[in-house]
Each structure stands twice: as C-alpha cells, then as structure tokens.
Amino acid sequence: MADFDDILADFEFLDDWDDRYKYLIDLGRALDPYPENRRDDAHKVKGCASQLWLDAELKDGRLAMRGDSDAHIVKGLVALMIALYSGKSPGEILAIDAQKALAPLDLTAHLTPQRSNGVASMIARIRAVADASDPTGASDPSGA
C-alpha cells in the first residue's frame, strides 16, 4: 500500500483528472482482498451511494484498517483513507485534520456530491473507531 505522502506527490505529478481517477482506481485494485465475512451491516459505511465496507483492528496500539467497495473510484478513495489513517494510534488518528490533509488533492472539486459524502462517512467511521479504541479517552469531541 502506498504511503499517503507518496500518493500526494503522485497526484501532484498527474496533471489531468482522467489520469488521477485512473490512479485512484489503481490504488483500489492494490488493496488486499476484503474478507467476505466482513461484508455485513456492522462494517458497511452508511452515507455512501456505493456499497462500502470498512473495519479496523487494534494491534499493538495501532489501528490496522481494511476496506472495500463495489465502485472502482470509491474503492480508490478507501485506499486513500487507509493510507492516511491505517497504522496510526487512535490518538494520532483523532489528531488528523482530514480536510487539511486532503486539501492538496482538491477532491471536493472533482468528486460527485455522493462520493464526497462517502469520503465524509468514511472519515466519521474511522474517527468513531479510533475514539472507541483510544485508551487515553482524550478524544476531540468536536470531530475535527
């Protein structure tokens, strides 16, 4: 899986949004297979027009995430969220300003409102999992 900073650099290199969409699709294709037994309502992300599943497991104080979607671009967005959040502690995840981190990609200007809602729903789900897993209880109630 590509590092988030590498993805940012690759996006900067790609001038055309058709190429950026293809890159997102490639990121999604590179995801590890998602377990069939996790394709259930408990792991389904609500608020996305596509079928989208996401789960995380706390391992050695860090959240390991995985996800999948039935839509190619959304699956690429799942890969993007995994690159941004996976492998971090719950406290580190809660400290991430997702809007600021994603701003250089200019996704909101190039995604449909439904896909933008899906990104927001993924971020909310990841933050909720991190909050529930945060042993310090020092979560940010603002959801920022």
Position 1 scores a pLDDT of 72
Q: Which three-class secondary structure state does DSSP give residue 87?
A: coil
Q: What are the backbone angles phi and psi of residue 69, rounded to the nearest 5°?
A: -150, 155
* pLDDT, position 49: 83
Give pLDDT, residue 112. 87
pLDDT at residue 142, as a whole number: 44
- DSSP line for 20-62: HHHHHHHHHHTSPPPPGGG-STTTBPTT-SS-EEEEEEEETTE
Q: Which CATH architecture has domain 4-133?
A: Alpha-Beta Complex (3.90)
List Cβ neighbours of 68 (8 Å cut-off, separation of 6 or more).
Answer: 31, 34, 39, 52, 53, 75, 78
Catalytic residues: 48
Residue 66 pLDDT = 96
Give pLDDT < 50 ranges for the chain.
140-144
Tokens 């995994």 belong to 82
Residue with tokens 């409102």: 113
| Per-residue confidence (pLDDT) for residue 143, from 0 to 100 | 44
Whole-angstrom Cα distance, residue 118 to residue 74? 8
pLDDT score recorded for residue 136: 67
